[in-house]
Structure 1
Amino acid sequence: MTSIEGRNPVIEAIKNDRQIEKIMIASSAKEGSIKKIIAMAKEKNIIIQYVDKHKLDEISTSHSHQGVIANVSEHKYYELDELIELTKEKKEDPFFIILDEITDPHNLGSIIRTADAVGAHGVIIPKRRSVHITPVVTKASAGAVEYVPVCKVTNIVNTIKRLKEEGLWIAAADMDGQTFYEQNLTGPLGLVIGSEGFGISRLVKQNCDFTVKMPMIGKVTSLNASVAGGILLYEIFKQRSGRVNK
């Protein structure tokens, strides 16, 4: 078992029929969305336990539980084949986000949240040297982890090669590339976003089809991974939706 912390993440877990053992609610928290959580839990016969807020403080890993923590089943990770098949069933051009050793849980959660917003078909992470789905990630995603398939793979380079066999073009977010809004980002696409400190590894970059960069004129020449990812994902969303400025 693992836990989900925060009001929106718990609400989304209930909506998505996640297996929930019990929901712990601070005795002092009875307003607003807490009432909604209680009503939803009772409707689905989920055990509610009222506890002192200090107990939630002690067991919280996100340190932002908002008066509610749910004990839930482990997060379901998808196999790459499952991810590809799910996309084929939707009969849409596949759109995957490939994360090369992202280690900050807040960045992963924010990227998953944006992935949900722009309709990405899945997020791919490596099994090693990467943060996985934790209570902090779930909280940062505002519950989007319940809707965006996350796939763990052994080797990112081999995964890229497999996606190419499926007809995807793979773009790398890197400063040595073409300005992102001048590049064609439509069609079957995978976007690689590198780690916070080191960017995209050499072998991964070599196996991408092209690179895209964000021009910057400020004194700081890099962006947080989730911020950079958000900008690029919305450009892809705009182009895929046909919303091109005239």
Structure 2
Amino acid sequence: MTEKRKLTLMDDVWKPPSYESQQPASAPYVSPHAPAARRAGSRVPLVVALGVAVVGVVLAVVGILVTGGETAGYRTWHQQSGAMEPMYPEGSDVTVKPIDGSGVRRGDVVLFSARDWGADSVFMMRVIAVGGDQVVIDEPGRVRVNGKILREPYLFKSGPYFAPPVEVTVPEGRLFLLGDHRVAAADSRAHLSENSGTIARSAVVGMAVDHASVPSPDRLWMWVGASTAAAGLIAAAVAATVRHRRTGVTQRI
């Protein structure tokens, strides 16, 4: 009787060998005190990528602003006469740099207000002499400045012309100007009665320049900046995607 009772008790507690494998696997334990970087994924890659993108944008903007400031004020002048042929024929467009006249030198082609000549308009002519210079023009049209014959390869090739001789000393702070097409230009020679045909430096409003010399935006820095910004944004997108997936896995756990 005793043995039978023992077997019954053993039957009550004995389980099949496969019982443990049939139970669902327990989930791994994640401590609520674990660092956020381990549970949700680190934010460092995302922050670094966004920083790279910002640096790229700054480089591109600086490249534009630095040269953009240098090009500010340049404008186009439409030449309305043949006084400056052949270099600036009538109807041509001339790139003009704004200046105040203080830095004008002999040989510069300038735009100036012709109020000193009694005209309420703007002309374009070449500076032949500055304050203190002595100018002598003989009948065949040869020009001497301070006793030296002026070499003028820019002149319109019209051959010798005969006009009354000119001899003036340019007052300080003033300029003596001639057109490159001497036969067609109503320049300082035509206004000798007032200040020896000169105009004030302060009347200068601009100087003709070669269009190719006008600064353009620094395309190298623009390209480097744009490439860096694009790389940073792509890296930020990848980092954000990876972090989002890690965060979703952690939340499901």
Q: Which bin holds the TM-score, normalised by the shorter protein? A: under 0.3
The alignment's TM-score, normalised by the length of structure 1, stands at 0.23
| RCO higher in structure (CA 8 A, sep ≥6) | 2
Higher Cα Rg, which structure: 2
The alignment's TM-score, normalised by the length of structure 2, stands at 0.22
